[in-house]
Structure 1
Amino acid sequence: MKTLLRVFIVVIIIIGGVLIIVVGKKPFPEPECLVCGINLIRTLGIAEIILGLGALVIQGNLIEKQRSF
């Protein structure tokens, strides 16, 4: 049950990252810097997806280690 809850939380994090990217595509004037406005929102969304996927992989590895003991 704990494992299912952890996987569910990670999936919610990944979906949140996708939503940040989709919602962040509203028509804003493009700033010139990399971490301003829409670029910051898109970068944060991508980072959240990557971290969520990394957490899912780590969780899977921990589950496999627990099963082997």
Structure 2
Amino acid sequence: MDKNTLIELVPHYVGMLILVFGILGIVQLSVGQVGFLIEFAIVVTIAVAYRPLVLRLGIAPSTWE
């Protein structure tokens, strides 16, 4: 990977991290403490769903298209 590709991907990975922590925070505030497996399932779901969602919205970086 070249430098320009990495620079193009950084905002998406930062956004995904913010989304993961935000959703985990909302879940903990609304439901309370949940187990590790549930948190892991939430993280995996977000990580798997992020790329297709971004592609469908049309804001994906060119390397993902």
TM range (shorter): 0.3 to 0.5
* Structure with the higher helix share, 1 or 2: 2
What TM-score, normalized by structure 1, do the two folds share? 0.41
What TM-score, normalized by structure 2, do the two folds share? 0.43
* Structure with greater Cα Rg: 1
